[in-house]
Structure 1
Amino acid sequence: MRFCFRPGEGDVGPGPSRTVAAGLPQVSGHQPALDGMRALAALLVLVFHVATETGDALAPGAVGALLAGGDMAVPLFFALSGLLLYRPWAAAAIDGAPGPSVRAYLRQRAVRILPAYWLVAVVALLLWSREHLGSPRAWLEVLTLTFTYDPHPWWTGTGPRGLGQIWSLCVEVSFYLLLPLLAAALAALARRGPAPRAGAAAVRPGGNPVP
């Protein structure tokens, strides 16, 4: 069964009445239910990196295998980012309203990430990659978070020394840039979907369907 939400009855954002699948969670900025999952994922990543530096993650046996498996939290972070960042576009598609401002979205992402990252990147290059300080290619790849896509890297491992863990941020930033395009494509598919069935029921405030 599908339920028709009237404006002001727990829906999110501007727009006319909308039709959503029963049980669809309401969209809000903070999702308390995910806090524990995010904390666990952060702890697993921390333990993995510490165990890698100490060599414990390479030890034989169950403990070593368990510590080495901490990197499985990285895909979990990717999934959480995708869920939380896409939700405003999903809400707009459900409402039949315009999506979030792409310019504001990209500006917010850039302000949140780039200043701190650029500071770390410059310090890492000055400390451990001095032989590449005169290379425009090295600076361009590091500052634009594209070094992980270099088919002929000038560094070894997962990234320049001091920035090896940043490969995951490179992937995240690529997703940030693609998200508006993916959201637009999914919204277009949603608009071409089947019309609501005649048996759709209106929902009163509080979530109870109208008989």
Structure 2
Amino acid sequence: MTAADGSRAHPPEGAPARSGRVRELEGYRGVAALSTVVFHVWQHYTTYGPEGARPPLANGFARAFFSFEVVDLFFVLSAYLLTLSYARAAIDREPGHPARTFLFRRAVRILPLYWTAILVVWTARNPGLPGDWRDLAEHLTFTQVFDGERIFYTIGASWSMSLEIMFYGALVVLGPLAARACRPFARRGARVAVCASGCALLFAGPVAWLAVAHYGLRVPVTDWPAYYGPHARFHAFAAGMLLAVVTVALGERGRLGARASALARAAAVGALLALAWLSKDHAGAASVFYHPLAALLWTVLIHTTVQVRRGGLWHRCLRARWLTGVGLVSYSLYLWHEPIMIWLDGAGALPGGPGGFGPALLVVLAVALPAAAASYWAIEYPAALLRRLRDSSHRRRDYYPELSP
């Protein structure tokens, strides 16, 4: 695409591909948000005792289906969308986005809703002063992930936002560094190799830490900062960055034909089955390395979606209007669903006992989805308008709902 002055025009920040395949990725956002709600309701109805965890449903298939932990999907997809412009700058030498523009867009996208949700929930749970001010300060500054006691306070799922913010800071440093590192290489393949190698190193670091922490230092799994901090969870962002590099490297010519598409769909089904198997309670390496393995499998699934031609059942499901609608409000749903679940439980609106899981899930969704839609139109959409006003180019659709957990 060429601008009027002859230079190559920028794609919108976070545009998934030259073909603009947006709806399928927004469908993934809907899948991730709904799966997160299911997972947290599942956790709420799981009891723990000397014999271990007792899930609300004993059926193995149900356990695999309902206990998906999809935070890695959020991280992979977010990193993929946001790294694309940097990958194009490094591999194809396209103009990059200034760091201040990137950070402003991310701040407008993330902060208004996040700070509103934190302040509302914290105030409701701390009616008397002074309250737990340290908890509030840590959540407002995205540092709760380093506090083993308060990491899941206020809004439990918000720990992932700490990593998102840290990733944004890392990306505005690593993206230009990658472009600089690729400048000496005339061959495009060499530039791709440099970027891919950097992503592989970023993935390997947290995996190595998990091995050292568990097998070498014997760090208990309840040491939350050890296993939830950036040093332990950045592998998912690295997988998304690698996916962006692969997408840019392949380009439109990487679209798969009919036979290759069939193989890719088979790989996608295999990835889903592997994720279901991993989601069950396992001991040993499958438990220690669950999140790196899940990140790789989500990466395979997204890659096949991007590269396979449209028309298959999977694409139609992802493009379903109801699912993309959930994807549109997924950030609000992600932040509000847990406080809503806790409030409903305190009000006696959720049935008790393990058998209450199914009805409780329906009740939580029935309240959380309308609340998320209201939150989107009241907070997220006006913030997106502010970002549009600041953008100097009004000829492109600046608001693209990038995946943000």
Larger radius of gyration: 1
Gaps of 5+ in 2: 11-15, 48-53, 190-251, 254-405
Query: Is 2:40 the counterpart of 1:41?
Result: no
C-alpha separation between the residues in 1 aligned to 2:2 and 2:112? 40
What is residue 41 of structure 2 aligned with on the other side?
A: 50
User: What's 2:153 paired with?
Assistant: 160
Instruction: Detail structure 1 runs of 4+ shifted over 4 Å in the superposition.
Output: none
Match of 1:79 in 2: 76
> Counterpart amino acid of 2:124?
L
Secondary structure in 1 matching 2:117: helix
How many angstroms apart in 2 are the aligned matches of 1:28 and 1:105? 22
- Return 5+ residue gaps in structure 1 as ranges: 1-5, 15-24, 198-205
Q: Distance in 1 between matches of 2:128 and 2:119?
A: 14
Change (3 A) 1:192 1:31: farther
Distance apart, 1:196 and its partner CA: 5.4
**3-state SS of 2:185 partner:** coil
Structure 1 residues 196 and 124: CA distance shift in structure 2, 3 A: closer
After superposition, where does 1:25-174 map in structure 2 within 5 Å?
Answer: 26-27=17-18, 31-55=22-46, 58-59=55-56, 60-62=58-60, 63-68=62-67, 70-71=68-69, 73-129=70-126, 133=130, 137-150=134-147, 153=149, 155=150, 158-161=151-154, 163-174=155-166
| Paired residues of 1:132 and 1:138 also in contact (CA < 8 A) | no
Summarize the Cα distance change of 1:51–1:136 in structure 2 as closer, same or farther, 3 Å threshold. closer
1:169-184 counterparts in 2 under 5 A?
A: 169-184=161-176
Q: TM-score normalised to the size of structure 2?
A: 0.38
How far apart are the structure 2 equivalents of 1:136 and 1:38?
A: 33
Per-residue deviation, 1:45: 1.4
Higher relative contact order (CA 8 A, sep 6+): 2
Q: Distance in 2 between matches of 1:35 and 1:48?
A: 20
Letter in 2 for 1:177: G
1:111–1:146 Cα change, 3 Å:
same
Aligned partner (choices 186, 207, 210) of residue 178 of structure 2: 186
Identity of aligned residues (%): 33
Tell me how far 1:176 sits from its aligned partner: 1.2
Cα offsets for 1:75-122 (capped at 9, x unmatched): 011011001001111222234244101111111111111111111111
Partner of residue 200, structure 1: none
Asked whether the 8 Å contact 2:91–2:188 carries over to 1, the reply is no
CA distance in 1, matches of 2:26, 2:116: 28
What is the TM-score when the length of structure 1 is the normalising length?
0.68
Name the CA distance, whole Å, in 1 between partners of 2:143 and 2:125.
19
Q: Find 1:13's aligned residue among 9, 15, 30.
A: 9
How many Å separate the matches in 1 of 2:35 and 2:126? Answer: 29
2:392 match? none
Give the deviation of 1:131 after TM superposition: 6.7
Equivalents in 2 of 1:36, 1:126: separation in Å? 33
Matches of 2:188 and 2:46, distance apart in 1: 57
- 8 Å CA contact retained: 1:58, 1:65: no
CA root-mean-square deviation: 3.2
CA distance in 2, matches of 1:30, 1:194: 30
Quick one: distance in 1 between partners of 2:163 and 2:76?
12
- More helix by proportion, 1 or 2? 2
Paired with 1:44 and 1:135, the residues of 2 have a C-alpha distance of: 31
Q: Report the CA distance between 1:43 and its aligned residue.
A: 2.3
Cα deviation code 1:144-166 (max 9, x no counterpart): 1111123x53x3xx4213x1110
Secondary structure at 1:192 match in 2: coil
Corresponding letter in the other structure for 1:13: A
